[in-house]
Amino acid sequence: MEEFLDRFPGRSDAERSWLKEVFGFVKHQLGSAPDASLTEEAALDLSVSLLRRIEEIHNTCTLPLSYRLLSVSELVARQKVACVSNLSWSTNQHKAWVKEAESQQAHHKALPRVHLLLIGYLRAGRAGELRLTDASGDVTCECVSPSPQWLGQPVFLPHWNYIPHNAPHMGLVELIGSPVLLSPCQGLAVHPGGAELSKADGVKEAAARLLTRCQGVRVQLCGVVCSVSPVLEVSDSTFFILILKDPQNSQTLPVLVQETSCLWWSQCVFVDQCVYVTVLRVCVVRGWKGNRLLCATSKSKLHILPHALSPHTHTTHTPNTLSPHTHATNTHTQDTETHTLSPHAQTPEQHTDTQTLSLQTHTPQQQNTETFTQPLDATEQKVEPNVIIQSGVRMKRSKVISYQGVVTEVLSEEAGLYMIDGEVGLCLAHQPPRRRGLRTGDHLQIHGVHFLYQPCPDLPPSMLCVCLRSTLRVTTFSPLATPEPGSPGPLSLPRLLLKQDVGVSQYLWISHVTKQLRCSLVPRWLKANTVCAVAWRILQLLFKRTEGGRRRDIYTEILEDPHTCPLSQYTADPLVCEYVCVRECLSALESQCGSGASLRSLLLPGGASLSKAQLNQRLAWSHSARPGTRTRPPTPHQDQAGPQKDQSGPGPTRGQRPLVLVGVLELPGQTDAAHTSLHTHTSPHTLQLRDGSGRVACVVTEPHEDRQRAVFNSAWIGCLVCVKRVTMVTEQFLQSDFPSYTHLEQDGYITHKHYRSYLQFCSSDVHILSPSVAMATHLQAERAKRGEEEEREEKRVKLDGEEEERLPSSCQHPCVSVVMRVEQKEGLSWRNTGAEREEAGLTLSFQVRAELIGPALKWGKDPKNSLVTGAEMDSHVTKVQVVYQSRAVRWFPVLHSNCLYRIVVSNTQDTSLLSGKVAPWQSKVELHTDPALQVGSDWTFHTLALPNLLHSQCLSPNLMSVSELLDSSSAEMVWFQGVLSERISLLENTNTGHAHSDVGEGLKLRLTMCDQSGRSVHVYLDLSRAPYPPGLLPGNTLLLSAFQRRLSRSGGVYCNSLPVSCVTVSQLGDSSPPQPSTPLVHLMDWMQPGEKRCIVGQVKGHVVCVLYLQLTWSCSLCDSTFIQSRCSSPQCYSTTAVFQSTAKIIMEDGTGEAQVWFSCPLVRLLLGLADSQWEELQRALRVRGRIRVYSRGRGLVCEEDSDCLLQYLSSLCSSSTVCRSLTLTCRARAHTQQAEGEARRFTRGETDFMTRMLLPLQLTCTHIEADS
Ligand SMILES: [Zn+2]
Ligand SMILES: [Zn+2]
């Protein structure tokens, strides 16, 4: 000790005690490290050497007292955050470094600095990794470019990062720059001299030796590295393959390195380095077509040669861009390449280099096709484009390139997905997992990587994917502290690649979906370790056939020329399904509506001629229903940046990607039913699809025979499902005050705007990812019924036995149940139920008229929806009114007429609850109805399969079609079904002052219902006391129950809703229904009374004459004539006018005659005028405001003075331009009484004649076909 201190004379006490500590530390940690023993003298030498180095690096004459030496075990145990230590930095240098590091990556902090020093021995680990070892333990050590000479040497680390690992006692030292070797005596390994090198074989000679097989021959090989495979562990053997090439002729030769002592070479060799490997033997690889290659032996040595030393000096490759800036001093002479890399120094010239290098194909040097970079040489590409269609799937070929860049984002560590340079994706999944995960800020150099363009629209269009032949090297460790990655699953995603033969495009897709699912479903609905299995299940559902994944053959992939691997070909489907969470889905729904342009499109055709009142009424309600698709897929970073930005450059191909939703089906408002209807996106009428991001109402139907029906099995509740084909619906309610069509762009006229967004789908498009207990029971029963044991089905439902874990097994409670058949369900409404708790008196409620079949039973455990037992069904039937209030209202979407349910009340054994006795609130009044059953808030209803004996009873006898309704003479209360063809909001009742009123509530609607015959009926629906029902959309089939059938004064039939009326969506219309081909009708047939009235038909005929034509500029506010830009009404100060026109003609088709009415946009077509002529006519009419022309006798007259405009119009109307053959689509005008005719009086001389004349057939033209 004294001897040691004597070497450093003139030190202060503090320094002396620091020195003592250092000496003690070195002696202990280096002296008693495994496989090392130090004499006192050697310890002294090492300590002195260490201090000299420290002084040198610290660069002041004082000792760095703020630093302390730290043992490896202490580092691993104590250091919980990532950090950096650099002895050479002054405070200012450190500040500059922080600034520089943080400026490169937004939102990232530089690693915090610590004042710690590390010493130890560098040793090779089991799988070829470097480990820093001292007496206390060892730690993995990563180095940018280690040298073979460091191994086993005592070293001092002046500059390093430490990255702790999630797992305890794990961590990683990132060595920045070279370590300082402490024992110079052994340190300077001499490079092989010229003489020795001259004995070495070049690649070409060695390749020749492989062919002439000689036992026991040892080869010394010298060549340029062209590929380094990752270290692979395959069935107990660990190895990597190094491919060397001849710099002159690009011939390549693989070297298999399997010797444990040589595995760490994989760290030292880089592409384009010149290496000299000794004592190689020839061996045969069984797995690889019996081919022979060179193999490292235990005596083999690796020497990295400076390019100048190479016997085959050539260098077509310039050494890679590395900074000459070094901190550490290194005593032994090496190529600059192996020296320290500064993380921040990047010279301008390097920068340009990086850019030009980016994304260029690795240029093949010679025309020799043997190099691996040339599977796609120029000639091949010319002949064959990169896209191949393989059995209907678009396959692309990838290019093999080299790339260097900086990691800018870790997309998914689990899936091995990263972003480089902010625009290029990197996928590492096809290589074994790396010891050190990449961090944001790492500089990378990748050789032989596959470049894929748009393999998956959810990821950046440019993707780099490494295979076993690719060489990835981190050239600079990131200076940034990245957030600790969440603990990834047990690498289940990459395992999919191995097990399931998933193609790369599908792998990328599933990785993206896994990440999304993790956000939206974990931990509430899914366990973290099952996400991957769920994503895999979705993939199987959506992709009929999995992409042609092949079994991977490691040797072929690494060794074969030309190179092929699973990444050589890939599918590129820009319209692959897109997974969205509920929140994204809702925002997509709302973005559909709103703008002035979209308002304009709502008013087509003929919007320009609408008066103010008509215009605003038309805008009051509108809807958009379209298949769930999204046009522009946002890339992952756009996702994070918030709103979607416009992608410039070669964006993904435009088109519609179908959306896929995953969530749990729930009853509406399971938490708070009374107020659900106030929530924008839920409705007590519908089920909900829910995930962690939100919930959305769903109108669901069930397939039934070849149609759909409204029934929805309660077993769906709680199932985790994937919905494949949805219709996204947004209903828009607008209170507006637009004076005219021209003002639509001005949002100021909108006084209130409100949306309702929901989804529509059929349960056949819903796929169960994880069933509820009830669904599992249901499916089992279904299978039992079919008498089939479909093993495949079984597998489909079970998902790693996970359903038991997901659902609480709370069915062990006693309960009572009764079976109920619903006869009729009433509509939901706010009723004054007299419930004592509700002060306001209005409660959301509905009632069901039902039969209780059999007695109430006690159960030891919840029977849920299990098969009905004999004891439950006896002939004793009790009719009851089942009353649902407040929270119980949530069962509304589950209950349907003619279905069987089991009511379960748990935690009780009191069967009298279900006996149908008088409810307490009814006891005060005298009872004339059936007894009532008030549903408790914790009761559950389970849909039961319909036993056969009941089936006949359950066919509804009185459900009518629209035609039957029209023809029926007796019915007062009606149940009928039809297709909604038109829906109009009746404005007068928008504000009822109701406590729950909202736009969209308190509405009165007029629905036009029709059936296949084309006959229709108007239904007036009063929603002022009811929550708003979604799904009342044109095209949907509705089931209307308990409506009142009425006759109008003119004898027409219409229906009114009653407080008990209920509307149910029973079949979803196509979102874009094909126009039904209207039948060609003879006018004579049309005039027949009865049957064929109300029909829409096509008429082919001739225009006989124009009976009437009116063109008007009318005030948009008061409908008065608008003359010379002023309203003619004295009280009106309106400045906006609309141009309106009507015409009536006589049409004749050889079988009969009809009067046909035309309105605005069709009048122009009838008159055969061009747009410009039409506008000219409008201008000419400005002066007088109105012109009316009608026929008298054979000519046309005008009520005002004859002028040129009149003359023009009358000659036009009698010309062959108008009186021509036409094909029209017409609708009979409502409420005309052709059948009865009209009594008319004629006078001839003195005599009066009374006669009943048939009125001419009155039609309204809806469409003019091209002239026939
Ligand atoms: Zn490959
Ligand atoms: Zn006016």
Residue 503 Cα to ligand 1 middle (Å): 13
Residue 464 banded pLDDT, cuts 50, 70, 90:
very high
Residue 596 banded pLDDT, cuts 50, 70, 90:
low
Pairwise CA distance, residues 665 & 937, whole Å? 19
What confidence score (pLDDT) does residue 840 get? 60
CB 230, CB 474: distance < 8 Å: no
Kindly tell me if the per-residue pLDDT of 836 is higher than 90.
no
Q: Identify the nearest ligand to the CA of 1126 by its number.
A: 2
Q: Identify the nearest ligand to the CA of 1131 by its number.
A: 2
Residue 466 Cα to ligand 1 middle (Å): 7
Residue 586 Cα to ligand 1 middle (Å): 41
Q: Which helix (H) or strand (E) holds 443?
A: strand 443-453
> How much is the mean pLDDT over the chain?
77
Q: Identify the nearest ligand to the CA of 1138 by its number.
A: 2
More confident site: 235 or 222: 222
Residue 1209 banded pLDDT, cuts 50, 70, 90:
confident
**Joined tokens for residue 741:** 């069509």
Residue 316 banded pLDDT, cuts 50, 70, 90:
very low
CB 142, CB 435: distance < 8 Å: yes
Residue 225 Cα to ligand 1 middle (Å): 17
Residue 1134 Cα to ligand 2 middle (Å): 5
Residue 1210 Cα to ligand 2 middle (Å): 29
In 3D space, the residue among 830, 870, 879, 826 whose CA is nearest the CA of residue 850 turns out to be: 879
Kindly tell me if the per-residue pLDDT of 84 is higher than 90.
yes
Per-residue pLDDT tens digits for 747-799: 888 888 888 889 999 888 899 988 888 888 888 877 777 765 444 444 444 44
Percentage of the chain beyond pLDDT 70 is 76
First vs last C-alpha separation in the chain: 116
Residue 565 Cα to ligand 1 middle (Å): 5
CB 401, CB 359: distance < 8 Å: yes
Q: Identify the nearest ligand to the CA of 375 by its number.
A: 1
User: What is the Cα gyration radius of the chain?
Assistant: 42
Q: How far is CA 217 from CA 262, 282, 847, in A?
A: 20, 7, 95
Q: Identify the nearest ligand to the CA of 739 by its number.
A: 2
Per-residue pLDDT tens digits for 894-930: 898 888 899 998 888 887 878 766 555 555 555 556 7
DSSP characters for 1120-1173? -BEETTEESSTT-----EEEEEEEEEEEE-SS-EEEEEEEHHHHHHHHT--HHH
Average pLDDT score over residue span 1213-1225: 87
187 burial class (0-12, 13-18, 19+ CB within 10 angstroms)? middle
What confidence score (pLDDT) does residue 206 get? 85
Q: Which residues surround ligand 1, an ion (CB under 5 A)?
A: 467, 469, 565, 567
Residue 407 banded pLDDT, cuts 50, 70, 90:
very high
Q: Identify the nearest ligand to the CA of 449 by its number.
A: 1
Q: Please list the residues that pair with 736 across neighbouring strands.
A: 750
Residue 721 Cα to ligand 1 middle (Å): 37
CB 563, CB 375: distance < 8 Å: yes
Judged by phi (left if over 0) then psi (alpha if -120 to 50, else beta), residue 353 lies in alpha
Residue 1112 Cα to ligand 2 middle (Å): 13
**Joined tokens for residue 726:** 């949805």
Residue 752 Cα to ligand 2 middle (Å): 25
Residue 468 Cα to ligand 1 middle (Å): 6
Alpha-carbon dihedral 99, 103, 108, 113, rounded to 10 degrees:
-20
Residue 1184 Cα to ligand 2 middle (Å): 15
Residue 1133 Cα to ligand 2 middle (Å): 6
Average pLDDT score over residue span 1159-1185: 88
What confidence score (pLDDT) does residue 153 get? 86
Residue 373 Cα to ligand 1 middle (Å): 10
Q: Identify the nearest ligand to the CA of 611 by its number.
A: 2
Q: Identify the nearest ligand to the CA of 1116 by its number.
A: 2
Average pLDDT score over residue span 1042-1071: 84
More confident site: 424 or 587: 424
Per-residue pLDDT tens digits for 521-561: 888 888 877 888 888 888 888 876 555 556 678 888 888 88
Q: Identify the nearest ligand to the CA of 612 by its number.
A: 2
Residue 648 is classified by DSSP as: P
Kindly tell me if the per-residue pLDDT of 39 is higher than 50.
yes
Residue 607 Cα to ligand 2 middle (Å): 19
Q: Identify the nearest ligand to the CA of 450 by its number.
A: 1
Residue 808 Cα to ligand 2 middle (Å): 69
Q: Identify the nearest ligand to the CA of 470 by its number.
A: 1
Residue 1126 Cα to ligand 2 middle (Å): 8
Residue 600 Cα to ligand 2 middle (Å): 23
Residue 1119 Cα to ligand 2 middle (Å): 6
Q: Identify the nearest ligand to the CA of 504 by its number.
A: 1
More confident site: 213 or 1027: 1027
Pairwise CA distance, residues 935 & 175, whole Å? 71
CB 181, CB 153: distance < 8 Å: yes
Q: How far is CA 449 from CA 417, 493, 553, in A?
A: 14, 21, 18
Q: Which helix (H) or strand (E) holds 1253?
A: strand 1247-1253
How many C-alpha atoms does 221 have within 13 Å on its Cβ side?
36
Residue 144 Cα to ligand 1 middle (Å): 24
Residue 963 Cα to ligand 2 middle (Å): 43
Residue 203 Cα to ligand 1 middle (Å): 23
Kindly tell me if the per-residue pLDDT of 601 is higher than 80.
no
Residue 743 Cα to ligand 2 middle (Å): 17
CB 407, CB 421: distance < 8 Å: no
Among 222-231, 481-490, 508-517, the range scoring the smallest mean pLDDT is: 481-490
Percentage of the chain beyond pLDDT 90 is 14
Q: Identify the nearest ligand to the CA of 427 by its number.
A: 1
Residue 987 Cα to ligand 2 middle (Å): 21
Residue 1120 Cα to ligand 2 middle (Å): 5
Residue 735 Cα to ligand 2 middle (Å): 21
Helix (H, G, I), strand (E, B) or coil at 290: coil
Kindly tell me if the per-residue pLDDT of 159 is higher than 50.
yes
Residue 1140 Cα to ligand 2 middle (Å): 15
Q: Identify the nearest ligand to the CA of 1119 by its number.
A: 2
More confident site: 1267 or 252: 252
Q: How far is CA 1121 from CA 1118, 1127, 1186, 1187, in A?
A: 9, 6, 7, 10
Residue 1136 Cα to ligand 2 middle (Å): 8
Residue 1116 Cα to ligand 2 middle (Å): 7
350 burial class (0-12, 13-18, 19+ CB within 10 angstroms)? middle
Average pLDDT score over residue span 1008-1016: 80
Residue 606 Cα to ligand 2 middle (Å): 21
What confidence score (pLDDT) does residue 332 get? 36
Average pLDDT score over residue span 341-351: 32
Residue 1166 Cα to ligand 2 middle (Å): 29
Residue 1197 Cα to ligand 2 middle (Å): 27
Among 193-197, 872-876, 959-963, the range of highest mean pLDDT = 959-963
Q: Identify the nearest ligand to the CA of 469 by its number.
A: 1
Give the number of other CB atoms < 10 A from CB of residue 836.
8
Among 415-419, 808-812, 845-849, the range scoring the smallest mean pLDDT is: 808-812
CB 259, CB 190: distance < 8 Å: no
More confident site: 1071 or 216: 216
Q: How far is CA 280 from CA 196, 224, 350, 988, in A?
A: 15, 16, 38, 96
Residue 62 is classified by DSSP as: S
Q: Identify the nearest ligand to the CA of 1122 by its number.
A: 2
**Joined tokens for residue 509:** 């897709």
Residue 1118 Cα to ligand 2 middle (Å): 4
Residue 1143 Cα to ligand 2 middle (Å): 23
1159 burial class (0-12, 13-18, 19+ CB within 10 angstroms)? middle
Residue 566 Cα to ligand 1 middle (Å): 7
Residue 783 Cα to ligand 2 middle (Å): 71
Give the number of other CB atoms < 10 A from CB of residue 810.
10
Q: Identify the nearest ligand to the CA of 1137 by its number.
A: 2
Residue 386 Cα to ligand 1 middle (Å): 16
Residue 475 Cα to ligand 1 middle (Å): 22
Residue 561 Cα to ligand 1 middle (Å): 11
Kindly tell me if the per-residue pLDDT of 321 is higher than 70.
no
Among 169-173, 790-794, 1245-1249, the range scoring the smallest mean pLDDT is: 790-794
Pairwise CA distance, residues 611 & 648, whole Å? 43
Extended beta strands in 144-291, E state: 154-157, 159-164, 171-175, 180-181, 218-228, 232-234, 237-245, 252-257, 274-284
Q: Identify the nearest ligand to the CA of 448 by its number.
A: 1
Residue 616 Cα to ligand 2 middle (Å): 16
Pairwise CA distance, residues 385 & 482, whole Å? 42
